[in-house]
Amino acid sequence: MTFEKNILCIGAGYVGGPTMAMIAHKCPHYRVTVVDVNPERIAAWNSAQLPIFEPGLDAVVGKVRGRNLFFSTDIEAGIRDNDIIFVSVNTPTKSFGLGAGMTADLQYWEKTARQILAFSHSPKIVIEKSTLPVKTALAMERILNCREDGICFDVLSNPEFLAEGSALSDLEEPDRILIGSRETDRGLRARATLADIYANWVPRERIITSNIWSSELSKLVSNAFLAQRISSINAISALCEKAEADITEVARAVGMDSRIGPKFLNASVGFGGSCFKKDILNLVYLCRHYGLDEVAAYWESVVTINRFQQERFIETMLGAMFNTLAGKKICLWGFAFKANTGDTRESPAIFIARRLLEEQAELVVSDPKALLNARADLAGVDGSVRYVEDATLAAEGCHAVALLTEWDCYRHLDFERIFGSMVQPAFLFDGRNILDHGRLYEMGFNVYPVGKPPLVHF
Ligand SMILES: NC(=O)c1ccc[n+]([C@@H]2O[C@H](COP(=O)([O-])OP(=O)(O)OC[C@H]3O[C@@H](n4cnc5c(N)ncnc54)[C@H](O)[C@@H]3O)[C@@H](O)[C@H]2O)c1
């Protein structure tokens, strides 16, 4: 069978896998191949146990894999045989040298560019899907356009805005698709080719275009704004706890202003995930690089407040539990950085677990999807940690439960039974404000929400 277009994605991670599955699903007339350097990841994509959990992903992959979606480790053949190449490799925070702890580590990205250069026998459109510092496309162009045989490459920026946990619906009905290109004839033609791919299922008015630097920057700014909202409401939650106000009531009143809107106003233990902190620090680094120290300091405070919120959570636990956690059993409900994913990268649970272990608490970690990753995150950390998938069993014999991920299943537990199985007085710290605090208090729990007065039995 011949396909209208042959599309490659380099990087089979949380973005590459679901994004390409959606293109293959919506465009049966295109052949889509996803390659990765990690053979285990590719083997998992080709098996019944996909390497990542996303609601609805199994069904979509099941439909298209082997039909027009293929996973492979043959990067050379992938580059040779495809004309449109998405690059979705990881761009973590650099951990060494200049910019360590701040800027993006671009080694995977550059390696990919050099592979594209080496293995191409025909012109290609190369699409930045990874999140990158502004002006990365310039470096990409300089690497790619140094061929002597006249083969040309067009570099586009097409940042991905999906959110883990709702990736499939975000991909199916995106708020917008952003495509940045050079504003030359070639650049505009490449831009139109990519827009046509998305137009198979996304309404044209949602496919927006811009110059390439605006596109690169928009992704960093988008994540910075989202994280800023979380830090803003979390900062106010600290004030609510001092002033006997209730953060849910404040958020409702504030969010009903149509200029502000109600979303992303839930106080919590803070944001996690592989992107928010990394992308803000990247933005901060860029601002400093351009001498904009005040702008850098403004955005850096979003990360500072996030860590403050997590430390505050520990202080609340310590204060409530008579200033000692040593030898006490604490159950963590949730380890994933948010609900509906098994991803634990930068999860607040990692920081909180480590801090509780420093206090010599004994931990029981529970999560419906993230226990494998939790084990890896806490491997080698001193202290006692058990892993129990069932939330009710996990809480048995514990002095306290700390709810850290807003999994829906935690709303529907048999709390009477849980209360009866715990050491008394039993403490419940709701780090996501999703439980019915009044009811739990009536059952006998001492309840500590975020940004609200605690409900304590004396
Ligand atoms: N995870 C998200 O929710 C999300 C959302 C939007 C954007 N992003 C951005 O997308 C990019 C990818 O994120 P992710 O979460 O999918 O990362 P990931 O770590 O899950 O996946 C990246 C994959 O790239 C592979 N890889 C690295 N170098 C390679 C090479 N030279 N050749 C082939 N494969 C290579 C890795 O083995 C890995 O499987 C990042 O820049 C991230 O900031 C992520």
| ∠ CA 335-341-346, rounded to 5° | 50
Q: Active site residue: 275, 287, 331, 398, which one?
A: 275
DSSP structure string for 302-347:
HHHHHHHHHHHHHHHHHHHTTT--TT-EEEEE--SSSTT----TT-
Whether 38 is in the pocket of ligand 1, judged by its Cβ within 6 Å, is yes
Residue-wise pLDDT tens digits, 301-337: 999 999 999 999 999 999 999 999 999 999 999 999 9
Tell me what the mean pLDDT of segment 353-377 comes to: 98
Domain boundary among 178, 202, 226: 202
Whether 275 is in the pocket of ligand 1, judged by its Cβ within 6 Å, is yes
Residue 89 lies inside a defined structural domain of this protein? yes
Q: Say whether 93 sits in a helix, a strand or coil.
A: strand
Confidence (pLDDT) at 1:
76
Whether 19 is in the pocket of ligand 1, judged by its Cβ within 6 Å, is no
Same domain assignment for residues 123 and 226: no
Confidence (pLDDT) at 145:
83
Whether 341 is in the pocket of ligand 1, judged by its Cβ within 6 Å, is no
Q: Judge whether residue 292 has pLDDT over 80.
A: yes
Whether 15 is in the pocket of ligand 1, judged by its Cβ within 6 Å, is yes
Same domain assignment for residues 192 and 249: no
Pairwise CA distance, residues 236 & 87, whole Å:
39
Give the pLDDT band of residue 11 (cuts 50, 70, 90): very high
- What is the whole-number distance in angstroms between the Cα of residue 89 and the centre of ligand 1? 4
Pairwise CA distance, residues 46 & 189, whole Å:
34
Same domain assignment for residues 314 and 415: yes
Pairwise CA distance, residues 13 & 108, whole Å:
13
Same domain assignment for residues 196 and 218: no
Whether 406 is in the pocket of ligand 1, judged by its Cβ within 6 Å, is no
Whether 16 is in the pocket of ligand 1, judged by its Cβ within 6 Å, is yes
Same domain assignment for residues 397 and 345: yes
Confidence (pLDDT) at 458:
86
Q: Whose CA is nearest to atom 4 of ligand 1?
A: 15
The count of C-alpha atoms lying within 13 angstroms of the C-alpha of 297, restricted to the half-sphere facing its C-beta, is: 4
Q: What is the mean pLDDT of the chain?
A: 96
The domain that holds 21 is classified in CATH as 3.40.50.720
Best of 50, 53, 82, 88 to mutate for ligand 1, by most ligand atoms within 8 A of CB?
A: 88
Confidence (pLDDT) at 147:
75
- What is the whole-number distance in angstroms between the Cα of residue 457 and the centre of ligand 1? 48
Residue 208 lies inside a defined structural domain of this protein? no
Domain boundary among 171, 202, 233: 202
**What phi, psi does 348 have (nearest 5°)?**
-55, -30
Pairwise CA distance, residues 42 & 50, whole Å:
9
Q: Whose CA is nearest to atom 28 of ligand 1?
A: 108
Cβ count within 10 A of residue 384: 12
Residue 240 lies inside a defined structural domain of this protein? yes
Q: Which of 31-45, 54-68, 86-100, 412-426 has the lowest mean pLDDT?
A: 86-100
Give the pLDDT band of residue 150 (cuts 50, 70, 90): confident
Nearest ligand 1 atom, CA 16: 16
Active site includes 409?
Answer: no
Whether 44 is in the pocket of ligand 1, judged by its Cβ within 6 Å, is no
Domain boundary among 173, 202, 231: 202
Q: Whose CA is nearest to atom 44 of ligand 1?
A: 15
Best of 20, 33, 34, 36 to mutate for ligand 1, by most ligand atoms within 8 A of CB?
A: 36
Nearest ligand 1 atom, CA 115: 31
Q: Judge whether residue 87 has pLDDT over 90.
A: yes
- What is the whole-number distance in angstroms between the Cα of residue 104 and the centre of ligand 1? 12
Give the pLDDT band of residue 148 (cuts 50, 70, 90): confident
Whether 223 is in the pocket of ligand 1, judged by its Cβ within 6 Å, is no
Task: Considering only residues 58 and 142, tell me which one the structure prediction assigns the higher pLDDT.
Answer: 58
Tell me the residue range of the domain where 237 lies: 213-458
Residue-wise pLDDT tens digits, 199-215: 999 999 999 999 999 99
Cβ count within 10 A of residue 399: 19
Domains contained in the chain, number: 2
- What is the whole-number distance in angstroms between the Cα of residue 440 and the centre of ligand 1? 41
For 168, residues 6+ apart whose C-beta sits below 8 A from its C-beta are 18, 22, 54, 55, 56, 57, 60
Residue 207 lies inside a defined structural domain of this protein? no
Residue-wise pLDDT tens digits, 369-423: 999 999 999 999 999 999 999 999 999 999 999 999 999 999 999 999 999 999 9
- What is the whole-number distance in angstroms between the Cα of residue 251 and the centre of ligand 1? 34
CA-wise closest residue to 177 among 211, 212, 215: 215
DSSP structure string for 148-175:
SS---EEEEE------TTSHHHHHHS-S
Same domain assignment for residues 224 and 183: no
Same domain assignment for residues 191 and 219: no
Tell me the percentage of the chain whose pLDDT exceeds 70.
100
Nearest ligand 1 atom, CA 275: 43
Most distant CA pair in the chain: distance in Å? 81
Residue-wise pLDDT tens digits, 166-208: 999 999 999 999 999 999 999 999 999 999 999 999 999 999 9
Q: Judge whether residue 114 has pLDDT over 90.
A: yes
Pairwise CA distance, residues 255 & 240, whole Å:
16
Same domain assignment for residues 165 and 245: no
The count of C-alpha atoms lying within 13 angstroms of the C-alpha of 322, restricted to the half-sphere facing its C-beta, is: 10
Nearest ligand 1 atom, CA 278: 43
Q: Whose CA is nearest to atom 23 of ligand 1?
A: 11
- What is the whole-number distance in angstroms between the Cα of residue 91 and the centre of ligand 1? 7
- What is the whole-number distance in angstroms between the Cα of residue 430 and the centre of ligand 1? 32
Q: Judge whether residue 17 has pLDDT over 80.
A: yes
Whether 130 is in the pocket of ligand 1, judged by its Cβ within 6 Å, is yes
Same domain assignment for residues 195 and 231: no
- What is the whole-number distance in angstroms between the Cα of residue 223 and the centre of ligand 1? 16
Same domain assignment for residues 239 and 344: yes
